[in-house]
Every structure is written in C-alpha cells, then in structure tokens.
Amino acid sequence: MRILILLAVVLAGAAVGAWATRPGEEAFNEKLRAEIEDVVLNREVEEARDPIAALTLASCKLSINDCYETYRRRLDVKFLPGMFTTTAIVDGPRLDTVCTGRFGGFTCQHPLFGG
C-alpha cells in the first residue's frame, strides 16, 4: 500500500512539474532564434541546396537579428496549449511542421530554418 501511495505522489509531482514548465510562444521564439543562429554561423553559402537558400543564407549572415525578425514575421504559428504540453503548428515559406513543447522547450518534426 505504501508503494502505491508513493507512486501516486511521484506521478502527481511529475504532472505538476510538466504543467508548471509547459512552454509558450517565448520558448518557441528562442528555439527559432537558436536554429537561425546555428545555421548562419555554421553553414557556408556554397552548401545551400538551391539559389534561394543561398541568397537567404547570405543575407542572414549580414544580420542575424534582421534575419530572425523577417523570418518570424513570415511564419504563421498557431499555439494550442494543452494541460501538460503546448503544440505549435507552423506554416511558412517552404515549411510545414508541428512542434511539441514540454518541460520548458520545443521539439519539432522538421528543422525550422535551413532544413
């Protein structure tokens, strides 16, 4: 019986932790900015998959902040808060993906930038 009570307490604690750390739009924007910075700083223009990607990467290398702001404005993101997670449905230029937020961060089915 004590094991069942202990298990119930642990599960309740995990549920409260998941609820309290459910990420929102700010965490999504941080993930997007981090992905843009990673691609811009670690990929060469010559490695781009096509001319449009090469042009985008070259312009982003001039100003990561401007790149982020421009790209973020072009994304249509719908946030669906759940009890323990947040789902972000992302639709944008050459991108359709779903991101799931849990425990303070998001994971996405596809890269948000430069994939």
Please tell me whether residue 6 adopts helix, strand or coil conformation: helix
pLDDT of the residue at 91: 93
Q: Tell me what the pLDDT averaged over the chain comes to.
A: 87
Mean pLDDT of 31-35: 93
Query: Does residue 102 have a pLDDT over 80?
Result: yes
**What does each C-alpha distance from 67 to 43, 80, 85 come to in angstroms?**
15, 26, 28
pLDDT of the residue at 7: 79
Query: What is the reported pTM?
Result: 0.77
Domains of the chain, by residue range, sit at 21-108
- pLDDT-derived band at 115, boundaries 50, 70, 90: low
With beta carbons less than 8 A apart as the criterion, state whether 19 and 81 touch: no
- Summarised one tens digit per residue, pLDDT across range 44-92 is 888 878 888 888 888 889 999 999 999 899 999 999 998 888 999 999 8
